[in-house]
Amino acid sequence: MHVDKIHAGERLDRVLAVYFPELSRSRLQAWIKNQQVKVNDEIVIKPKHKILGDELLEVVTTLEDQGEWQASDIPITIHYQDEAIIIVNKPAGLVVHPAPGHYTDTLVNGLLYLFPELRKLPRAGVVHRLDKDTTGLLVVARTAEAHNHLVSELQDRAFKREYLALVHGEIVAGDTIDYPIGRHAVNRKKMAVNAQGKEAITHFRIGEKFNDFTLVQVKLETGRTHQIRVHFSHLKHPLVGDPVYCIRNLKPKGMSEKFEQVLAGFQRQALHARTLGLTHPVSGEWMEWECEVPADIELLLEAIRQHDKLHEKH
């Protein structure tokens, strides 16, 4: 695995935790102490070994079954699959990984039902996540080789990940948002722009302008937790429906009863992972997929268009 330069100065065990987040720190440290980890082809036995960035990391071990993760017959939309990868179109309301409160009803549970061999892979082959109420495309590896390749590709920022986001307020033009993101100082379940946080870069352009909203086309350069939601909230343009980062009741003036019902009924962040592109881990071919905008966002957009027609600016 290729270690990104953003990890320069970090301990080896902490960098391993990025690649194997489902494993305990003690287990990762045991790998290192048992001479199972190489940095640039040299065995390293100290967990506190400092990473310089841009190194090659190799782990020689056998992953045990993730037996505690139950297989469940959950409807999953497979957008594409072959012998090495699976592209999933995730619906809103589906958690990706088992966690307290969601042990049997997650995407991983459904994947294990359809593809039992994923038990042998880190995080059941899931390479990157989407928030529970974010819809759209994500990639799952089917083999250890594919997983290593895709994780390295992701760390090298070689994935193409494009989203549609509907935000409050009028944004004049596209831009790049470059603010580091870390844990919120008070609410540890939230993320925030934080000078001590990790580098976070979001590119966006205007998709469609409305009187009180803007549809933006977003391209991620980095992939921090809640990155798009945090960045636009920091710009005072929070995502419509976001229950965490849009805390004020932002309502356009002169709303009809019907429009108010549609807006109030939209109970998730208006964020959709529409496009995913990557280099195939076996063929080396560049592949790209796109999925339709979900019905709830389309309904919301149409309601906004109708509202604007009734309140055209002169």
Instruction: Tell me whether residue 273 is exposed, middle or buried, using C-beta atoms within 10 angstroms of its C-beta: 0 to 12, 13 to 18, 19 or more.
Output: buried
- Examine the residue annotation and report whether 131 is marked as an active-site residue of this protein: yes
- Cβ–Cβ under 8 Å, residues 137 and 87: yes
Distance CA 278, CA 158 (A): 7
Question: Helix (H, G, I), strand (E, B), or coil: what is residue 180?
Answer: coil
Roughly how many angstroms between the first and final C-alpha of the chain, as a whole number? 58
Catalytic residue among 13, 41, 54, 131: 131
Indicate if the alpha-carbon torsion angle 287, 293, 294, 295 is positive or negative. negative
Q: What angle do CA 169, 219, 123 make, to 5 degrees?
A: 115
Dihedral of CA atoms 3, 7, 12, 15 in degrees, nearest 10, equals -80
Q: What is the DSSP letter of 151?
A: H
Q: Extract the tokens encoding 196.
A: 């001590």
Residues labelled as active-site residues: 131
